[in-house]
DNA sequence: GTTCTTACA
DNA sequence: TGTAAGAA
């Protein structure tokens, strides 16, 4: 069986991962994966879906986590990824501000002091 | 022939 | 989880 347009049918995925199509449908029913559908309601799986399914199998078979637990863990993973993005952006913004502040301070130091001129006033 | 849904052991 | 029936 070969991949078409980057998508796999449920039969292809089942063969690749050695699981029953029913199991894959069950994962979807539990909200763990969301393969897109064709106009004819046929499930189409991406490479990312396959990676997710591998992760699900690893959690359930090797660690004994049930599907509800895997669902929570996958949600947490996504949240952590989003938090990493936020932290990264904050770091960039903070570094930029610090740089600007330092540039401002150094420019003040470099300014030449104003010349003081002594003026003599002669009286009668 | 493949996939979908639903159901049952 | 595995298997099966009936429809699409």
On whether residue A21 sits in a domain, the answer given is: yes
On the question of pLDDT at A106 being above 90, the answer is no
Three-class secondary structure of residue A30 per DSSP = coil
**CA A68, CA A60: separation in Å to the nearest integer?**
10
pLDDT at residue A116, as a whole number: 78
On whether residue A61 sits in a domain, the answer given is: yes
Question: Which nucleotides of strand B come closer than 7 angstroms to any CB of the protein?
Answer: 2-7
User: What's the mean pLDDT in A47-53?
Assistant: 95
Domain that holds residue A96: 10-107
On whether residue A1 sits in a domain, the answer given is: no
On whether residue A23 sits in a domain, the answer given is: yes
On the question of pLDDT at A47 being above 80, the answer is yes
On whether residue A88 sits in a domain, the answer given is: yes
The model's confidence at residue A124, banded by pLDDT at 50, 70 and 90, is low
Cβ of A26 less than 7 A from strand C: yes
Tokens 């003040």 belong to residue: A108
CATH of the domain at A37: 1.10.1660.10
Cβ of A19 less than 7 A from strand C: yes
Q: Which residue is nearest to the C1' sugar atom of B2, using CA? A: A11
On whether residue A124 sits in a domain, the answer given is: no
User: What's the mean pLDDT in A99-120?
Assistant: 81
On whether residue A28 sits in a domain, the answer given is: yes
Give the tens place of pLDDT for each residue, A113-122.
678 778 888 8
Q: Tell me how many domains chain A contains.
A: 1
pLDDT at residue A123, as a whole number: 77
Nucleotide nearest to A23 (CA to C1'): C1
On the question of pLDDT at A112 being above 70, the answer is no
Cβ of A29 less than 7 A from strand C: no
Structure-block tokens of residue A10: 């449920």
On whether residue A71 sits in a domain, the answer given is: yes
Q: Which residue is nearest to the C1' sugar atom of C4, using CA? A: A22
């Amino acid at each position: 069986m070969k991949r078409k347009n980057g998508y796999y049918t449920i039969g292809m995925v089942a063969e690749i991962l050695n699981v029953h199509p029913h199991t894959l449908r069950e994962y979807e029913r539990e909200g763990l994966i969301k393969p897109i559908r064709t106009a004819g309601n046929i499930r189409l799986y991406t490479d990312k879906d396959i990676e997710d399914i591998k992760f699900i199998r690893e959690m359930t078979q090797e660690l004994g986590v049930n599907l509800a637990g895997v669902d929570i863990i996958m949600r947490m993973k996504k949240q952590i990824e989003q938090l990493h993005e936020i932290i990264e952006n904050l770091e960039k913004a903070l570094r930029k501000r610090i740089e600007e502040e330092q540039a401002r301070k150094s420019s003040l130091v470099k300014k030449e002091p104003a010349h003081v001129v002594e003026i003599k006033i002669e009286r009668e």
